[in-house]
Chain A
Amino acid sequence: MTDTSTLLPLKNPTPRAALNAAQRQAVDGALASFRDAAGALLPILHAVQDALGYIPEAAVPTIAHALNLSRAEVHGMLSFYHYFRTQPPGRHVIQLCRAEACQAMGARTLEAHAKRRLGVDFHATTTDGEFTLEPVYCLGNCACAPSVMIDGDLHGRVDAARFDVLLAQTREAQR
């Protein structure tokens, strides 16, 4: 893996030590793959989140420096796009659709049930670190609403009972 610090003789204010080995590898890998692409920042951020499940705040200076951007510009991307997160998620990410087609089939009731069952609000992770609950605005499954995506697997016509079954299956699957 290319160590970007050797490629960049400019004074780098990055506290690279703040990144652990895995994080450094993810960031360096993303930069090596995409830094020369047109509009590189978006694919780089995706690659880091794909590798780590999130984008550590400490990666911001390194990415900014590599692309000759300000830290504010990179941080601005993280705060603008709902998909990017700066904290590690739980072992499983549950995306619950809140949009109109799902509302028409009981998404508001499902949302209340999911929050109660998991004991967390949106953007939060259960205390056992199992599940992170995220809102999403349309999964394109609008003829089979309400929709839920768990770790990238889409589920349709999810009511409270079905949600509980999916939770149990997700816990079961990792054992």
Chain B
Amino acid sequence: MSTTVYISRDASALALGAERVARALAEQAQRAGADVRIVRNGSRGLFWLEPLVEVLTPAGRIAYGPVQPEDMPGLFAAGFLNGGAHVLRIGDIEQLPYFARQERLTFARVGVTDPTDLADYRAHGGLQGLQRALELGPADIVKTVTDSGLRGRGGAAFPAGIKWQTALNAAGTQKYIVCNADEGDSGTFSDRMLMEGDPFALLEGMIIAGLGVGATRGFIYLRCEYPHAQRTLEAAIAAAYAAGVLGADVLGSGRRFDLELRLGAGAYICGEETSLLDSLEGKRGQVRVKPPLPAIKGLFGQPTIVNNVITLASVPIILARGADYYRDYGMGRSRGTLPLQLAGNIKHGGLVEKAFGLSLRELLYDYGGGSATGRPIRAVQVGGPLGAYLPESQFDTPIDYEAFAAIGAMLGHGGIVAFDDTVDMAEQARFAMEFCALESCGKCTPCRIGSTRGVEVIDRIRAGVARVENEALLRDLCETMVNGSLCALGGLTPYPVLSALQHFGDDFRQ
């Protein structure tokens, strides 16, 4: 009888040495004559414990971590294949408070199953949502998604059901489902973890979306900075075709759904849905003027659903368990769960999937354990490079789309980047403008020109040149960008700038 051992192939686990650990374990097992089967799974998302090694024992999965190759002889000597005692022994990782207090719906299988093994996916509840969708008609599929309260997890939080209904109502010869996997926001990695850890959930969500709106073709637009996700998705798509989950006869239903993976090329703006569509069409990723909405006139002029990875990957469980099951999580108009990502200067960085409603402070301290450097957390940027910088006085804001909007911030894709008290917030504000200048698609003037002028004005303020006048100019410029930009890049870049100015004004006056 072989012993099953799980070692992650998640990019972050690999970045910490998981590949070398897997190799060392295989070598040591061979030397010891132990029969070991190594499964390369996704990550549990507790990155301070990666590389994590989980051993399947009669008493359940016993975790050890963080493990380095040189720990192997000691682990074998301690009888870790039977769950033996060792200084790195964690026990059942699901009992750790960090994990036990989460509500993992979308991430239920990530870190548990073999990501590209369809049988393992089925054994853990996979394809139940698709089976249900095949029993329902398009209208009922869309109604279920609408009733669940699911909103776009890419950042804009637009109700998914309304988007789907629009595409369902629209006439077109070839409708499309496009997955936005251009996860460019710094501090976010939930899309990546999902694609590397449970790619079939995304595929299943896209097929259900296709059935819901009458689309038979799908594209995943993946950023090229994610080569590991690319390999996992390619394997998953091939496996899904081989098993008849994708293709001309989805699960023997006679319904067709074809799926193709396409790579981006390092343009942040292509995470904006209309630039993404232009990019997919083989053009520069320039923002389109809306209307027409993509749901009516999208890819190649056809009705197109563009949804983020997490949005689509949340659909299978909504179909499988029902709209109420999902909607019962959350608060206010933010229903269900949000996979939050703790990043930057944080002790316990990782993925926390929770129902909406917990506070930023709980995340930073109860989960995150404070800063990695041990210094006070001074500022937190939520929602990527376009998100506001929040001071300590706002840490009690609940994780809720409307609560964040009320303080001039946004949840975005759920990335939380912590900074300790060594941060220079004027430098961060300058970077926000610099990034916008670098990534602007150039279509609208406030963004293209405003961002460059913004860098210059901040430089003058920091140099102490006509500070009062330049600060007024910066606010004026920000107002123009907010109101005059075509999309969120130019329209939201002022958020980090103005919040830095408002809450950390002293940093601009040194």
| Interface of A toward B, CB cutoff 8 Å | 38-43, 45-46, 67, 73, 76-77, 80-84, 95, 99-105, 136-145, 147, 149, 152-157
CA–CA, A39 and B343, complex, Å: 35
A80 touches B423 (CB 8 A): no
Query: Does B353 count as interface, using CB distance less than 8 angstroms?
Result: no
What's the minimum C-beta distance from A84 to chain B, rounded to whole angstroms?
A: 6
Task: Return the contact of A137 from the options B50, B186, B262 (Cβ within 8 A).
Answer: B186
Contacts known (A42-B262, A42-B279, A142-B189); A105 close to B14, Cβ less than 8 A: no
Task: Return the contact of B189 from the options A43, A100, A102, A140 (Cβ within 8 A).
Answer: A140
Task: Return the contact of A41 from the options B224, B226, B282 (Cβ within 8 A).
Answer: B282
- Nearest-neighbor residue (CB-CB) of A155 within chain B: B15
- Nearest-neighbor residue (CB-CB) of B372 within chain A: A105
B47 touches A84 (CB 8 A): no
Task: Return the contact of A139 from the options B47, B225, B285, B418 (Cβ within 8 A).
Answer: B225
B268 touches A137 (CB 8 A): yes
| Interface of B toward A, CB cutoff 8 Å | 11-12, 14-16, 47, 50, 183-189, 191-192, 224-228, 262-268, 279-285, 300, 341-346, 349-350, 372, 381, 385, 415, 417-420, 423, 428, 431, 435, 438-439, 441
Q: Which of A39, A104, A138 has the most CB of B within 10 A?
A: A104
CA–CA, A103 and B419, complex, Å: 9
Residues of A within 8 A of B228 (CB): 154
Residues of B within 8 A of A149 (CB): 225
Task: Return the contact of A154 from the options B15, B281, B345, B381 (Cβ within 8 A).
Answer: B15
B11 touches A152 (CB 8 A): no
What's the minimum C-beta distance from A159 to chain B, rounded to whole angstroms?
A: 12
Would you give 26 A-B contacts (Cβ < 8 Å), ordered by A?
A39-B262, A39-B281, A41-B283, A42-B265, A77-B282, A80-B441, A81-B284, A81-B285, A83-B266, A99-B187, A99-B435, A100-B381, A100-B417, A100-B428, A101-B187, A101-B415, A104-B420, A105-B372, A139-B11, A140-B189, A142-B187, A142-B417, A143-B189, A143-B341, A144-B50, A153-B14
Residues of A within 8 A of B280 (CB): 39, 42
What's the minimum C-beta distance from A115 to chain B, rounded to whole angstroms?
A: 17
B345 touches A105 (CB 8 A): yes
CA–CA, A82 and B267, complex, Å: 6
A138-B225, A155-B15 known; 7 other A-B pairs, CB under 8 Å? Answer: A40-B282, A45-B265, A81-B267, A137-B186, A139-B11, A140-B11, A144-B50
Residues of A within 8 A of B192 (CB): 140
B15 touches A147 (CB 8 A): yes
Residues of B within 8 A of A152 (CB): 227
What's the minimum C-beta distance from A107 to chain B, rounded to whole angstroms?
A: 10
B423 touches A141 (CB 8 A): no
Residues of A within 8 A of B227 (CB): 152
Residues of A within 8 A of B15 (CB): 141, 144, 147, 154-156
Task: Return the contact of B225 from the options A41, A100, A140, A156 (Cβ within 8 A).
Answer: A140
Please give me the 4 A-B residue pairs with the lowest Cβ-Cβ distance, nearest first: A143-B349, A99-B186, A83-B266, A41-B282
- Nearest-neighbor residue (CB-CB) of B286 within chain A: A80
CA–CA, A81 and B300, complex, Å: 21
- Nearest-neighbor residue (CB-CB) of B420 within chain A: A104
Residues of B within 8 A of A43 (CB): 262-263
Residues of B within 8 A of A80 (CB): 267, 284-285, 441
CA–CA, A38 and B284, complex, Å: 15
Contacts known (A39-B280, A42-B280); A143 close to B263, Cβ less than 8 A: no
CA–CA, A73 and B278, complex, Å: 13
Residues of B within 8 A of A136 (CB): 225, 266
Contacts known (A147-B15, A154-B14); A100 close to B266, Cβ less than 8 A: no
Residues of A within 8 A of B346 (CB): 143
- Nearest-neighbor residue (CB-CB) of A136 within chain B: B225
Contacts known (A99-B186, A100-B186); A143 close to B428, Cβ less than 8 A: no
- Nearest-neighbor residue (CB-CB) of B377 within chain A: A104
B428 touches A103 (CB 8 A): yes
Residues of A within 8 A of B344 (CB): 100-105, 142, 145
Residues of B within 8 A of A157 (CB): 16
B186 touches A102 (CB 8 A): yes
CA–CA, A96 and B158, complex, Å: 33
B266 touches A82 (CB 8 A): yes
- Nearest-neighbor residue (CB-CB) of A147 within chain B: B15
B12 touches A156 (CB 8 A): yes
Residues of A within 8 A of B16 (CB): 144, 156-157
A137 touches B300 (CB 8 A): no
What's the minimum C-beta distance from A111 to chain B, rounded to whole angstroms?
A: 12
CA–CA, A156 and B282, complex, Å: 33
Residues of B within 8 A of A83 (CB): 224, 264-267
CA–CA, A136 and B227, complex, Å: 14
Residues of A within 8 A of B226 (CB): 140
B186 touches A101 (CB 8 A): yes
Residues of B within 8 A of A41 (CB): 282-283
A82 touches B47 (CB 8 A): no
- Nearest-neighbor residue (CB-CB) of B380 within chain A: A104
CA–CA, A172 and B81, complex, Å: 34
CA–CA, A136 and B345, complex, Å: 19
CA–CA, A82 and B266, complex, Å: 5
B435 touches A137 (CB 8 A): yes
What's the minimum C-beta distance from B50 to chain A, rounded to whole angstroms?
A: 8
What's the minimum C-beta distance from A59 to chain B, rounded to whole angstroms?
A: 16
Residues of A within 8 A of B263 (CB): 42-43, 46
Residues of A within 8 A of B343 (CB): 101, 104, 142-143, 145
A99 touches B385 (CB 8 A): yes
Residues of A within 8 A of B341 (CB): 142-143
